[in-house]
Amino acid sequence: MPYTILVHVLNEDAIVGEVDELPEENVPFLKLASPRLRDGRDVSYFLPDTNLVLLPWSRVHSIEVMPTEGDEKLVTFIRE
């Protein structure tokens, strides 16, 4: 199941991308597909046709896992 994640890179803007599975502890880098900025624009320091990026953990501050369509639930309260 692919995950959409938000990667906070040290001293750079956050990057959005997809991973097939969440990274393991012993992997030296993060494999990120379809890297882009939050607003969908290309990342300035990657070539425009880049599809896959390997980011070393020394450059990654934190990762946020974005909710998938199945995870998003709308809770409403109706008062009668």
Q: In this predicted structure, what is the pLDDT of residue 57?
A: 92
In-domain check, residue 24: yes
**CATH number of the domain where residue 37 is located:** 2.30.30
In-domain check, residue 77: no
Cα 39 to Cα 57: distance, rounded to the nearest angstrom? 24
pTM: 0.79
Q: In this predicted structure, what is the pLDDT of residue 18?
A: 95
In-domain check, residue 59: yes
Count structural domains, the chain: 1
The pLDDT averaged over each successive group of 10 residues in the chain (80 residues) is: 91 94 90 93 91 94 84 61
In-domain check, residue 19: yes
In-domain check, residue 40: yes
Q: In this predicted structure, what is the pLDDT of residue 25?
A: 84
Q: How far is CA 73 from CA 15, 18, 28, 79, in A?
A: 25, 21, 35, 19
- Give me the domain span that covers residue 61: 3-65
In-domain check, residue 76: no
